[in-house]
A and B are shown apart, each in its own frame.
Chain A
């Protein structure tokens, strides 16, 4: 018998031949070991990571308090309420009121209510009344609401090959680094 056998509450072969006084001890340790063990992951992990378990596309939220300097790429939707310096690529990208993106926004759908200083390349583009767009918009389908500000060209060139078609993130990253 090794020292470890004594500490193992599940070892019944060891616990059985013990005198009665000792038999209560493995029970106690077993209770102590299992009870908090089963409680802890539920109490801690459940509310904390609740959003992770939900299947399907999950929207990434860049909150007002978050500032990102760099590249973002997602196969899902992105809601930007904070600041991003760099390119953003997502399925559907929403740039909220008060948000700011300095770079190119790529997506299937891009909805702008904040500020973009750079470029938008998307199949479907919506500029809401609070939008402020400094740069070109390359689109297939565009809606511009009253009050939106655009300083740049709107070109219906999305998906027509050449430079206007979505370059891969690597190509974009390469451009950025070579420029810097």
Chain B
């Protein structure tokens, strides 16, 4: 794939400034420039995507903003924030800063902050630094803890896990 390697380089000062709102500036090392725009130069309303309940999609999803999934998608998701709404289904690898699951997920999640809601159903591996699991959530798999630095330096996803 052609768009795997290029990273967004941000001066240290800018990162510091942004880290106030996002708490963790790591996403800018992972996030790609989309439409030629770096991650920090984005509008408030144009970076939220909704994939409706009637939508089925397969492939690679890259965004520097939020992605709400009400429908069913499979493949690879690379977002600042992924929200799987109740009824939403995601299958595949997810790299994000923040993941919230109220629907179904199967695959691998690489995210420092993960929240699984009451209606959430997770199968697979959740690599996290902090995780919240609501009472009633269903989890079948492992939730390996990783330090923040693991996500900051994560460039390529590991092929397999034993």
What residues make up the interface of A, taking CB atoms closer than 8 Å to B?
37, 40-41, 44-45, 48-49, 51-52, 57-78, 81-83, 86, 98
Contact = CB atoms under 8 A, between A and B. Distances in A.
Interface of B: 1, 34-35, 37, 42-43, 46-65, 67-68, 70-71, 75, 83, 85-87, 100, 102, 117-118, 134-135
18 contacts: A49-B83, A51-B85, A52-B70, A60-B54, A62-B51, A64-B43, A64-B47, A65-B47, A66-B34, A66-B62, A69-B1, A69-B62, A70-B58, A72-B56, A73-B55, A81-B46, A82-B34, A82-B49
Contact of B49 (A40, A45, A65): A65
A80 B69 CA distance: 15
Contacts of B71: 60, 74
B46 A74 contact: no
Among A51, A64, A70, A76, which residue has the most Cβ atoms of chain B within 10 A? A64
Given A74-B71, A83-B35, A66 B63 contact: yes
Contacts of A82: 34-35, 49, 63
Contacts of A65: 34-35, 37, 42, 46-47, 49, 63-65
A71 B56 CA distance: 8
Contacts of A48: 83, 85, 100, 102
Contacts of A71: 57-59
Interface residues of A, dominant DSSP: mixed
Contacts of A59: 50, 52
A125 to B, nearest CB: 21
B54 A58 contact: yes
A62 B60 contact: no
Nearest to B83: A48
Given A61-B49, A66-B61, A70-B75, A75 B54 contact: yes
B61 to A, nearest CB: 5
A58 B50 CA distance: 9
**Residue from B49, B53, B61, B71 whose CB has the most chain A CB atoms within 10 Å:** B49
A62 B66 CA distance: 11
A91 to B, nearest CB: 8
B56 A74 contact: yes
Given A49-B85, A71-B58, A82-B34, A76 B63 contact: no
Contacts of B54: 57-58, 60, 74-76
A60 B100 contact: no
Contacts of B60: 67-70
A161 B70 CA distance: 34
